[in-house]
Amino acid sequence: MRDPGDGEEVAMIRWGWLRDAASRLRRGWRPVLEATVAATVAWILATRLVGHPQPFFAPAAALIVLGQARGQRLRRAVEVVLGVAGGVLVADLVIQGLGPGTTWTVFTVILLTVALAAAVGATGVTLVQAAVSALYLVVVAPPTEGLVPFRFVDALVGGAVALAVSQLVDARRPLAPLVAEVRGTFDEMAGLLTDIAGALDRHDEPGALAALRKARGMDARVDRLRDEVLAAGEALWLNLRRRRHLGRLRSVDSSIRQIDYAVRNVRVLARAGVTLSRLSSPVPGDLCVALRSLAEAVGAAGEALAADLEGRDEVAERHAERADAAALAAVRTAGGLFTPGQTLPLMMIIGQVRATAIDLLRGVGAEDDAVVLSRVDQALGLPPV
């Protein structure tokens, strides 16, 4: 006999799946809307403006370009157009010699198209698009007089529409997504340092392990930050009125390497924090003070970079000064613990406080690297080199 509870369990599973699907759709509505609008507009332009009765490549090119990550779409649009042109050219020549629809024609077209694409250094989208375009012409719609330029124009229309649609949302504020990602990355790193300090305050090994798990996930944050820099650069390049802001983008781009180094330092610091939390000896209170000062420096550095991107130079300078002062305060406080007889994990944390402070100051300051290093070591109490 069937258990009545089975039906309730199935209903709960279905409801949970529907709820998750609705949540994913709420988060991912933009790509759905972009793809639908771009493919439809590309089809309309190709049929009514260009006059092509079967513009397969126009919506297809739009979908292929939008399928790429933001920041890579301009390059992909060019690759799609070149791939279509190369594939159509090869297919047209082979069909003229061997006729359409034969096995030898299909074999020859694929071989020559892929070989030609590989010979010119094409990879990925360009190679596949060339082969698919050529195969489509052989199997589905053999070219006739006048169709070769139509298909090339179709791909051009589709790629251009995809680029235009992808920029509509960010047209007024192309740097806004990058600014949000900068703030999110630095806020998460500052929160991580605060979590480590709290775990050490409480001698909380599970809390220290949780912080370490968060630290290991920070690499994904840095990757997203790099992706947003590429996307912002593409958006600014396509927006003629805002290309003057590319200089701001370059300043942040040059800081990403230091941010990456800082993330790695914090991960090592978190690992040492786990070891320190396992020891029976008490954790010095000044160490947690130093970590919280470093967290304040990280937060201020993020605000400095965000304000720089937004063109608020005076605000950026104030935050950079605050980051400088907090980072040196963290090093100074940690340096007071730099005495003989301390445990190895504690010494490691002091070293990572120093290294993180250096990377932060290099990321937001205009000083020479040697000057930054000298100031940090002076705060740590090390003799000048």
Span 87-108, pLDDT tens digits: 777 777 787 778 777 788 888 8
> Average pLDDT in the 66-92 region?
71
Residue 68 has pLDDT above 90, yes or no: no
Instruction: Return the number of other C-beta atoms located less than 10 Å from residue 313's C-beta.
Output: 11
Residue 259 pLDDT greater than 50, yes or no? yes
Determine the Cα–Cα distance for residues 80 and 62; give it in Å rounded to an integer: 9
Tell me how far apart the alpha carbons of residues 147 and 153 are, in angstroms, rounded to a whole number. Answer: 10
Could you tell me which residues come within 8 angstroms of residue 247 by beta carbon, excluding any fewer than 6 positions away? none
CB distance 105 to 94 below 8 Å: yes
State which amino acid sits at residue 243.
R
b/e sequence 12-48, b meaning 16+ C-beta within 10 Å:
eeeeeeeeeeeeeeeeeeeeeebbebbbebbbebbee
Going by pLDDT thresholds of 50, 70 and 90, the confidence category of residue 69 is: low
For residue 184, the one-letter residue type is G
Which of 39-53, 108-122, 275-289, 310-324 comes out lowest in average pLDDT?
Answer: 108-122
184-233 pLDDT, tens digit each: 999 999 999 999 999 999 889 999 999 999 999 888 888 888 888 777 77
- The CATH class that applies to domain 176-380 reads mainly alpha
Name the residue with higher pLDDT: 380 or 330: 330
| 124-165 pLDDT per residue, tens | 667 777 777 777 777 776 555 444 557 778 878 888 888 777
Res 172 pLDDT > 70: no
3-state secondary structure of 384: coil
Q: Is 380's pLDDT higher than 60? A: yes
List C-alpha distances in Å: 230 to 54, 157, 178, 237, 360.
35, 23, 9, 11, 22
Say if pTM beats, i.e. exceeds, 0.75. no
Q: Which residue has the tokens 């040492």?
A: 272
- 116: pLDDT strictly greater than 70: yes
pLDDT, tens only, 284-307: 889 999 999 999 999 999 999 888
For residue 232, which amino acid is it? A
For residue 317, is pLDDT > 70?
A: yes
Only one residue has tokens 């020859």, namely: 108
CA dihedral 347, 353, 358, 363 (to 10 degrees): 150
Taking the domains of the chain in order of start, what are their residue ranges?
A: 30-168, 176-380
Sorted by sequence, the CB contacts under 8 Å of residue 279 that are 6+ apart come out as 343, 345
Burial (Cβ within 10 Å: 0-12, 13-18, ≥19) of residue 269: buried
Q: Is the model's pLDDT at 385 over the cut of 60?
A: no
